[in-house]
Amino acid sequence: DTGVSQDPRHKITKRGQNVTFRCDPISEHNRLYWYRQTLGQGPEFLTYFQNEAQLEKSRLLSDRFSAERPKGSFSTLEIQRTEQGDSAMYLCASSVIAEQFFGPGTRLTVL
Amino acid sequence: ILNVEQSPQSLHVQEGDSTNFTCSFPSSNFYALHWYRWETAKSPEALFVMTLNGDEKKKGRISATLNTKEGYSYLYIKGSQPEDSATYLCAPSDDGNNRKLIWGLGTSLAVNP
């Protein structure tokens, strides 16, 4: 499978716990994006990497959120001290130029 | 680009009906307009990426037009089928280097057999 993959697909956690999601982009796609979709809303941009460099972070990304792309390939998104408001679908996408290819998302539920 | 609006929010049609959706967006700093189709439990699927004013693109029964000067795009589905049921999202990207997508809320389409 040469598409974008995300792991896990679903995560249920208790408030206050840390969680980490992984995204494997399409091979050789240098651009990688994280978006978040909450119920009833369209997806919202969180952060963007070009190769290993994190070039933009949304104001939505509080200091509890951190993202990395250490070798310019896969990326991780970590949420520390989760809150109920973090419950959402977290989407990863990769691209070369314009068209972004999306993974299936990780659905996070914080109890 | 700050505000993307899509209409209608939801649509129920009968199989065979043709339908269209609207996406409006601020026309300043525009780079490209993306249309995605998103079915529940699946990845958003790219339908079209359009950059030029007056662009028209077609894929099977689905087509789209773009007006960058007035800031709108239309998506048309001819002869809707039950498998067209999904949420259709538009997302312009700005002319900055990151090309991040700014999403609308989507139009939820249900096609009854």
pLDDT (tens digit, 9 = 90+) per residue, B26-44?
A: 888 788 999 999 998 888 9
Q: Report yes or no: B9 at the A interface, CB cutoff 8 Å.
A: no
For residues B29 and B62, what is the distance between their CA atoms, to the nearest angstrom? 27
**C-alpha distances out from residue A20 to A90, A91, B1, Å:** 11, 13, 30
Backbone angles phi, psi at B34, to 5 degrees: -110, 140
For residues B103 and B62, what is the distance between their CA atoms, to the nearest angstrom? 20
pLDDT of residue B2: 59
pLDDT of residue B106: 94
- List, in sequence order, every beta strand (DSSP E) within chain B: 5-7, 10-14, 19-24, 30-38, 45-50, 56-59, 62-67, 72-77, 86-94, 107-112
> What is the residue whose two structure tokens read 């919202």?
A44
For residues B96 and B71, what is the distance between their CA atoms, to the nearest angstrom? 18
Res B1 pLDDT > 60: no
The mean pLDDT value for B36-61 works out to 92
With beta carbons under 8 A apart, name residues in chain A contacting B4.
42
| Six token digits for residue A28 | 């050789």
pLDDT of residue A72: 87
Look up residue B82 and give its DSSP letter: G
pLDDT of residue A65: 96
Nearest CB to A99: which of B49, B100, B104? Answer: B49
pLDDT of residue A39: 84
pLDDT tens per residue across span A10-67: 999 999 999 999 999 999 899 999 999 998 888 899 999 999 999 989 988 889 999 9
Q: Mutate which of A30, A44, A45 to test chain B, going by most B C-beta atoms within 10 A?
A: A45
With beta carbons under 8 A apart, name residues in chain A contacting B103.
35, 42-44
